[in-house]
Amino acid sequence: MPDTQGLKEHLLQADPEYRALLTQHHELEDRLNQLLSRPFLSDTEQVEEVTIKKRKLQLKDRMEDILRRHHDAVHHPTPQH
**Per-residue model confidence as pLDDT tens for the chain (81 residues):** 457 888 899 999 999 999 999 999 999 999 999 999 999 999 999 999 999 999 999 999 999 999 999 888 877 776 666
Q: Are 14 and 77 in contact (CB under 8 A)?
A: no
pTM of the model: 0.83
How big is the chain, counted in residues?
A: 81
Residue 77 φ then ψ, to 5°: -65, 145
H/E stretch holding 74 reads helix 43-75
Residue 23 φ then ψ, to 5°: -60, -45
